[in-house]
Amino acid sequence: MKTMKKHVTLIALLLATALSANAQKALVAIIDQPVKGEYQTVNPGTYPISQSKGGDYIIGIGQETERVPKTGCHTEVWTAQDGHGYLTVATKAKNGVAVYQSMAANAPVVAKLPANREDEIPESYACLGKTGKWYKISVDGKTGYVKACGVTWHISEADCGGCIR
């Protein structure tokens, strides 16, 4: 029984590590003009690729997926470190998130990101880069840093369901 418990714990730990690594790096399809998908026309934008099948990509559009031809897209690997993607306040950050002037918790606070309300679509903020456990963002014309534990990184605006602020 103890051995099985250790195996389950190890598998859960490996899965969590893989998921957190994938959260910081993603293959995306950049669509520059409308592309005829399997079920709908997909508007220009950036979409996470969930699979590659033959001449098509399966991309995520909000909570749905769509098959689009590879010829209508080009792909990139996006990372937070390179300043790609969007951030939303993590659901566990019930009091919002402080935006610091520098990458130090004792630095002056230049802004505060409000907590997400369950009845509203969360605000999203453009990611300007990631260094260690800090994301760089711009809020209300002020550039600052937020702790990674207080936010969630997303590939695209549609992925996080929010509106850019």
Per-residue pLDDT tens digits for 41-65: 999 988 999 999 999 999 998 788 9
CA-CA distances (angstroms) from residue 57 to 15, 54, 66, 91?
25, 8, 8, 31
Q: How confident is the model at residue 18 (pLDDT cuts 50, 70, 90)?
A: very low
What is the mean pLDDT of the segment spanning 139-147?
94
pLDDT at 9: 34
Tokens 């080009």 correspond to 74
- Token readout for 126 is 């453009």
Kindly report which listed range (99-103, 114-118, 151-155, 157-161) carries the lowest average pLDDT score: 157-161
| Contact yes or no for 53/67 (Cβ under 8 A) | yes
Angle at Cα 100 formed by Cα 99 and Cα 103, nearest 5°? 125
Of the chain, the percentage scoring pLDDT greater than 90 comes to 65
What is the mean pLDDT of the segment spanning 90-117?
94
Does the structure show a pLDDT above 50 at 147? yes
pTM over 0.85: no
